[in-house]
Chains A and B, each alone.
Chain A
């Protein structure tokens, strides 16, 4: 299912202790395009969009950001990011992303510096349960959003 910016806007923008939070479902070829569209529309970044994708790719070349089997966490820490934002993308089927295959979800993290909210979010990911929850197709995007907002509780 291809996701429209409208859908993203409707469902997903929530604030988790200072984190700008978005969750969406995508086909693999749309992942980076949708990421660009979502973040520019919400003014997370004002830079030319190519820069974001370039920086994400550069980071990935330095070392894999696969943080759980089938889940990647591409991230950038750049001054042009206006607000620390997490975009969770669930693929409708196993996808190839940034040179890695078998990817089922990506957690894009965009920030311009370390924040307590981000540290708290990372702490949540130490436990494998959020990943299992995210990968479970029985959970809707709204369920996942709610799960993360509550810091890992159903």
Chain B
């Protein structure tokens, strides 16, 4: 299933009832024809009609059935990998084993693919690795990679992200996704995260906890499966970290402790540069302000934060904008460290963010492109990073909305209005519902409700004042929800 299918499933799963093809097409930015095609594709690929259609109503997903079908498919089709999944798995095997070579038979034994396909895979992998300054070498039946350790680690990280292994919400999620993390490794890695948290007196938030966990996992596996050489380049790289170490003594002490623990766990001596690598991760996380700032915010950070703020035409003197600015500084500062050290963070909420805050995300993405040009190293800000920044703006705009008052009404005041009350509250938690009543009761006490912003009703009414009315179906469909949203906040 492709990205459009996944987005469609996500869109439908967020709705109680039916959604029309027109609405789905508008939401996903595709044609109605594509919607019909993708629905058929989803149902065919799962072997069961999880998306039901009804003439005049649209589409509805049976989410429980969908989960059951996808779960069953995963268990039954263990070796049925897509070409991308297959290439990622092969790539990870070669990278972890570097500089040792692996035979093609061993790499491709499970997949039952032709020689032509293997050649095609290796050619694609070779091009991909080139971007990371790693060369794919083939000698007879043996495949290996050539490159320095930093480039190999970066390639592994990229392959893990591409395999969606980083799209989890906790280190334990990552451990359960990666087949070869045994119980001892899991315990050791979890203990290191706890060690870092205890030593620094803080909690490492998502997604940075997953990043550090995966970084240490890669380290362990590199030393077990491949061979890590501490060459002059690595020694020089560590020497170049001197200024960072000087500026972050507390973080460096913790990094040194964790590398010492890992060294003991692996029964091998680890190169000094490992402390440097881990230090890069530790200073690339988002912490509470006072931990990272130490009163120092670089000009570059301020320049980027101001660019984002100005991109939305926000007035800096507004205290809420000041608060947003502090949040952005807290994010952008470590983000610059990540970009400089090629640390990738996967944002598992990205699809949700694009769906819920599509236009906001596009604006942030546009600003991110301009921000890249302002940065010293001109590194591209990924969609994952732009997604995180979007959330700060989403929070700001959500909180900026004034609290509105609504009245919910039906003929009797006890049937559909009660149900509507619960559904409206669920969809608009910030909306203050001042009453649920019958039309008669409203008409007898109309003056008591002069200050409500909106009346949501399942039966037609004509208030004497100018209060806005949304006539909703008892089902409170997606279209009803949109009408309420538009009445409250404009379209």
Using a CB–CB distance below 8 Å, which chain A residues touch chain B? Answer: 59, 62-69, 73, 75-77, 109, 111, 113-114, 118-119, 122-123, 125-126, 128, 132
A73 touches B57 (CB 8 A): no
B418 touches A118 (CB 8 A): yes
14 contacts between A and B (CB under 8 A): A62-B459, A63-B471, A64-B473, A65-B474, A67-B475, A68-B16, A68-B17, A73-B419, A76-B412, A77-B413, A111-B412, A118-B418, A122-B421, A122-B422
B415 touches A77 (CB 8 A): yes
In the complex, how many angstroms separate the beta carbon of A121 from the nearest chain B beta carbon? 9
B60 touches A69 (CB 8 A): yes
B473 touches A73 (CB 8 A): no
Q: From B412, which residue of chain A is reached at the shortest CB distance? A: A77
B410 touches A63 (CB 8 A): yes
Contact of A75 among B416, B426, B436 (CB under 8 A): B416
- B418, B422, B473, most chain A CB atoms within 10 A: B418
Q: From B471, which residue of chain A is reached at the shortest CB distance? A: A63
Contact of A128 among B16, B410, B422 (CB under 8 A): B16
Contact of B422 among A76, A123, A132 (CB under 8 A): A123
Bound form: Cα–Cα A119–B395 in Å: 32
Task: Give the 5 A-B CB pairs with smallest separation, nearest first.
Answer: A75-B415, A77-B412, A62-B459, A122-B418, A63-B459
B423 touches A126 (CB 8 A): yes
Bound form: Cα–Cα A128–B63 in Å: 11
Using Cβ atoms and an 8 Å threshold, which residues of chain B touch A128?
16-17
Question: Which residues of B408-452 are within 8 A (CB) of A?
Answer: 410-416, 418-419, 421-423, 426, 436, 438
Given known contacts A122-B422, A123-B422, A128-B16, is B473 in contact with A75 (CB within 8 Å)?
no
B17 touches A59 (CB 8 A): no
Given known contacts A66-B475, A67-B475, A126-B426, is B411 in contact with A114 (CB within 8 Å)?
no
Bound form: Cα–Cα A66–B473 in Å: 8
A69 touches B411 (CB 8 A): no
Bound form: Cα–Cα A125–B474 in Å: 11
**B197 on the A face (CB < 8 A):** no
B414 touches A113 (CB 8 A): yes
Using Cβ atoms and an 8 Å threshold, which residues of chain B touch A123?
422
Bound form: Cα–Cα A69–B54 in Å: 10
A75 touches B412 (CB 8 A): yes
Using Cβ atoms and an 8 Å threshold, which residues of chain A touch B410?
63
Assuming A73-B474, A122-B421, what are 17 further A-B pairs, CB within 8 angstroms?
Answer: A59-B415, A63-B416, A63-B460, A68-B17, A68-B475, A69-B60, A73-B419, A75-B414, A76-B412, A77-B438, A109-B415, A111-B414, A118-B414, A122-B422, A125-B422, A126-B419, A128-B17
Given known contacts A126-B422, A126-B426, A132-B62, is B17 in contact with A65 (CB within 8 Å)?
no
Bound form: Cα–Cα A75–B419 in Å: 12
In the complex, how many angstroms separate the beta carbon of B446 from the nearest chain A beta carbon? 18
**B88 on the A face (CB < 8 A):** no
Bound form: Cα–Cα A45–B459 in Å: 26
Using Cβ atoms and an 8 Å threshold, which residues of chain B touch A68?
16-17, 475
Using Cβ atoms and an 8 Å threshold, which residues of chain A touch B474?
63-67, 73
Bound form: Cα–Cα A77–B413 in Å: 8
**B393 on the A face (CB < 8 A):** no
Question: Which residues of B44-86 are within 8 A (CB) of A?
Answer: 54, 57, 60, 62, 64
Given known contacts A69-B18, A73-B474, A126-B423, is B411 in contact with A62 (CB within 8 Å)?
yes
Bound form: Cα–Cα A113–B441 in Å: 12
Bound form: Cα–Cα A59–B474 in Å: 13
Bound form: Cα–Cα A63–B439 in Å: 12
